[in-house]
A and B are shown apart, each in its own frame.
Chain A
Amino acid sequence: MSTPLTFQETVLRLKQYWSDRGCILQEPYDVEVGAGTMAPETFLRVLGPQPYSVAYVQPSRRPADGRYGDNPNRLYKHQQLQVILKPAPTDVIDQYLGSLKAIGIDLSKHDIKFEEDNWEAPTLGAWGIGWQVMLDGLEISQFTYFQQCGGFELDLVPAELTYGLERIVAFLQNVDSVYDIEWTRGVQYRTVRHLEEYEFSKYNFELADVGMLWQLFDLHEKECQRLLKMPDTVLPAYDQVLKCSHVFNLLDSRGAISVTERVGVIGRVRKLALGVATAWMKRNEAAA
């Protein structure tokens, strides 16, 4: 067997692969998000009738998943490769399987299965139908046909492919801990990211100032509402939604949200997200 790819080679190969199939290559969105889906390149671009295909690596922050760098498989921040193909081509699954070959997986020697796993994000008014893709018993991807986003039924059904990069590379390199992944030759994932996992776990679970977070939440919410009343500020307004969402996740990992508050806060984020989607759609229609 040839030498397995490093973390960054895997990313490069996948980007090349999707670039060859007509995708725009984007860089990660620079506001904290919990998943690649939340980046505007997905959340907003799937709305409306314009075809759009894009691929990007999205560092995804989930404060409550942090483990101080102690757990071999759990991370506060993991890297997702996100691919949106809008509309989904009829051979989308074959294309996806081709991407696995491109990173050195000989499918004739492995077991691949598509197991039912529908996706739903109530805060984004979004859901889709799809699978988790299992490779030799390991979930390596989520595959979703979006049906609704921001409360709108979609004009063109996109396929969303998300690759859990750490998992896939750990599999390719046959290591049991993500920290043992070779990022590039001679440099381990541990060297690049461990400190970040430790410090942010500490911050997210112990140190984040709850009072300040609540204030931030209110401020970002107000700013979003203000922007939604103005023309041509849909994208800035959406940044404020993302800020609210991240602050909410931080409050959650600090155990600062009571049961009664929780429903209300989720409702507030959702309302903002739906407001942004509505504004985006209106602008689409006006442009058409």
Chain B
Amino acid sequence: MSLPFLLEIGTEEIPDWMIIPALNNLQDMFQALLDQHVLGGKVTAVDATPRRLVLRAEGLLDRQADVEELVLGPPTSVGAGAAAGFAKKMGTTADQLVTQSTAKGEYFSFAKRTQGQATSAVLARELPNLILKIQWPKTMYWNDKATRFIRPIRWLVALLGDAVVPFEIAGVKSGNITFGHRILGKPSISVTIQDFEDQLRTNGVILSANERREKIEAGISVRIKPDPDLLHTLTYITEFPTPILGSFDRSYLDLPQEVLVTVMRHHQKYLSVEDADGKLAPHFIAVMNTNADPDGLVRHGNERVLRARFNDARFFWDQDQKKALTARLEDLKTVTFQAKLGSYYDKTMRVVELVKQLGGDERAALLCKCDLTSDMVKEFTDLQGIVGGLYAQAQGEPEDVWRAIYDHYKPLSMEDQIPSTAAGRILSLADKYDTLVECLKVGMTPTGSRDPFGLRRAAQGIVRIIVEGRVTSAPPLEGEFLRDRVEYYFRDVRGFAYDEVRACMAAGWADLLELETRLVRVQAVRLTPDFEPIAASFKRIKNILKQAQFSDSTFHANLLEPGPERDLYEAILGTQGQPLESRIGPLRPKVDLFFDKVLVNAPDPNIRLNRLALLHNLLTEFSDLADFSEIVTERQS
């Protein structure tokens, strides 16, 4: 018999951004549970709203198959008494035993049959643990301290076919009772596997996130600024989303668009509306978690909140203009950068110095953090830098200066662009470099997912700005942390093979532009037929030198024997000064022949040492380009 299964974990509102990873985790663990306990069946669907995680599976057995195994007892030679003892231990009688021949002789044995358990019993036993093992970024307890989840669990639906799988978590018993939308639905609705989604729908809950997203999109009839992340959030903070169009007074459009969009997006979760030319229009889309706004109260309420927010922003703007950015520099002494690293004033002075060394715009560096004391940034922290840039512009600073300030937090993510001007790139680079170096200096190295100062992002920004911005005057790059980011960038972002990245970085990575050039060359030369064999030989050479504990030794050409050894030497000599690309072809057969015919470990220690020196010289020939022994080859010798 094959049964369907339904699990619904009913909770209080789960943060939207945690839902998808949790669903994936639940799906994987439940499938593993079915497989481990041989219950048959496959997870067919997972879905969620803020108040419920739902999993469906099909094709479960109603019980595990019985298992028969042959248990070996005492040898038949020991007689009936031992047989009876064994039978008793197996819970049977001696006449049920059989004789089994083995290489060591004949043994009493018993075909022990373990009855499969009912699926429902296995699930009832395993589900509480499984549910509580779902991984969340931060959990809480609400009933007993040992039971932790993302938010309190308030109901559990667990059905195998028509029957409830009975278990309990923190005082909540599983059943067939679900809860509808807080306002549109009823509490306590009894459901079956078949009518579950329909019952939810009748009670104001659209279980499918895709359907909710489509409902939002279908309900928008104006042109919006595309914002997939916000749309995702809106999909997962609602059980029954309905978009509404609101408006604000055109006069607010005098405020910088960045400010308006930030207020709408980050603070109110509104989608911005654009006119036919792509310019911001005096409207917004809010997404309600209900079905309608019959009296326009929701629209009115949202418009009122937005008006207050925009008024604040306008007030902040006017207020902030009363004190120029330059006059705010002193105030940075009271703004903490980091407890161990002093104030933003201290940081500013370091960044100014660095920007000076790198040939950037010192004025921009001096003013870049001054917006931190503005009311606008205190209220809308996401706008740091941008506000400073806008204020600098309004206060008559040259374009080079205000643009550099405006851009200097960029890139904020892998997708974000690097600063648009040279001065902006230098300033951003210097700021991030200072943050990184200073934080690492006081031991604030990120661990695991903890990176409170965004050092990974800073390091990634440094790498991208240098490489993509073609910055030739970069500060010195060193240390394991930065090295990892460089490796990550070229490998995962730029798509170079990991061994090429390692090989090239082994030859140095302080100059990222030069590293990039080498990577491009190595990538190209790798496609030629002689490359892999020679790389394999290089690996071999490295091993030989290592085993021989070769440090350094003068090479004497006169000690070379004629034949493959001298041939190799002459091939090296003959191609010296040529680029790698044209040396590999002539060198490869000579190297192969050398290893075929020449014994490195010659009985005469002088010859041996000289051969090692020859190989060492060969290896160092290309060492400023890459360490080819890092290349992973088919022919590992």
Contact = CB atoms under 8 A, between A and B. Distances in A.
B301 A135 contact: yes
Contacts of B308: 72-73, 176
B333 A259 contact: yes
Contacts of A114: 12-13, 50
Interface residues of A, number: 39
Contact of B290 (A88, A111, A157): A111
A56 to B, nearest CB: 24
B306 interface: yes
Interface in A221-259: 255, 257-259
Given A259-B343, A260-B342, A111 B298 contact: yes
B141 interface: yes
B311 A174 contact: no
A114 B15 CA distance: 9
Given A255-B334, A259-B333, A262-B336, A131 B304 contact: no
**Central interface residue in A73, A111, A128, A171, by most chain B CB within 10 Å:** A111
Interface stretch (A9-17, A27-35, A46-54, A102-110): A102-110
B27 interface: no
A145 B140 CA distance: 8
Contacts of A257: 334
B335 interface: yes
Contacts of B152: 88, 90, 145
B268 A137 contact: yes
A138 B142 contact: no
Contact of A113 (B151, B237, B343): B237
Contacts of A157: 140-143
Contacts of B311: 72
B205 to A, nearest CB: 14
A285 to B, nearest CB: 17
Interface in B273-307: 286, 288-290, 293-295, 297-298, 300-302, 304-307
A257 B334 CA distance: 7
Given A113-B237, A129-B140, A157-B141, A259 B334 contact: yes
A147 interface: yes
A231 B506 CA distance: 67
Contact of B297 (A110, A255, A263): A110
Given A138-B305, A157-B142, A111 B288 contact: yes
A136 interface: yes
A241 B154 CA distance: 38
Given A73-B308, A90-B154, A259-B333, A111 B295 contact: no
A136 B339 contact: no
A73 B342 contact: no
B141 to A, nearest CB: 6
Contact of A93 (B12, B138, B143): B12
A227 B27 CA distance: 56
Given A116-B15, A137-B306, A109 B297 contact: yes
A126 to B, nearest CB: 14
Contact of B301 (A118, A131, A171, A262): A171
Nearest to A153: B145
B183 interface: yes
B372 to A, nearest CB: 12
Contacts of B151: 129
Contacts, number: 106
A256 B151 CA distance: 41
A136 B302 contact: yes
A88 B154 CA distance: 13
Contact of A109 (B295, B304, B335): B295
Given A88-B142, A116-B15, A136 B297 contact: yes
B182 interface: yes
A44 B53 CA distance: 36
Interface residues of B, number: 49
A259 B12 contact: no
A1 B143 CA distance: 41
B297 A147 contact: no
Contacts of B334: 255, 257-259
A209 B627 CA distance: 68
Interface string A94-130: 0001000000000111111111101000000000110
B141 A147 contact: yes
B289 A137 contact: no
Contacts of B15: 116
B298 A110 contact: yes
Given A116-B15, A153-B145, A263 B339 contact: yes
A252 B79 CA distance: 93
A71 interface: yes
A73 B342 CA distance: 33
A258 B333 contact: yes
B453 interface: no
B481 interface: no
Interface in A141-187: 145, 147, 153, 157, 171, 174, 176
B183 A259 contact: no
A147 B112 CA distance: 52
A97 B12 CA distance: 13
B258 interface: no
Contacts of A263: 336, 339
B315 interface: yes
Contacts of A171: 301, 304
B484 interface: no
Given A157-B141, A259-B343, A112 B183 contact: yes
Contact of A136 (B16, B301, B312, B336): B301
Contact of B182 (A112, A129, A262): A112
Contacts of A112: 182-183, 289-290
A147 to B, nearest CB: 6
Nearest to B342: A259
Nearest to B291: A108
Nearest to A252: B334
A70 to B, nearest CB: 8
Interface in A262-276: 262-263
A115 B16 CA distance: 9
A48 to B, nearest CB: 14
A137 B569 CA distance: 79
Interface in A69-89: 71-73, 88
Nearest to B286: A137
A115 B337 CA distance: 29
Nearest to B306: A137
B142 to A, nearest CB: 5
A257 B288 CA distance: 44
A169 to B, nearest CB: 13
A72 B307 CA distance: 11
Given A113-B237, A171-B301, A176-B308, 4 more contacts: A73-B312, A115-B13, A137-B301, A260-B342
Interface of A: 71-73, 88, 90, 93, 97, 107-116, 118, 128-129, 131, 135-138, 145, 147, 153, 157, 171, 174, 176, 255, 257-260, 262-263
28 contacts: A97-B182, A108-B290, A109-B297, A109-B298, A110-B290, A112-B182, A112-B289, A112-B290, A115-B237, A116-B15, A116-B16, A129-B138, A129-B151, A131-B13, A136-B298, A136-B301, A136-B302, A137-B270, A137-B286, A137-B305, A137-B306, A138-B304, A147-B140, A258-B333, A259-B333, A259-B342, A260-B342, A263-B339
Closest 3 CB pairs of A and B: A136-B301, A116-B15, A111-B288
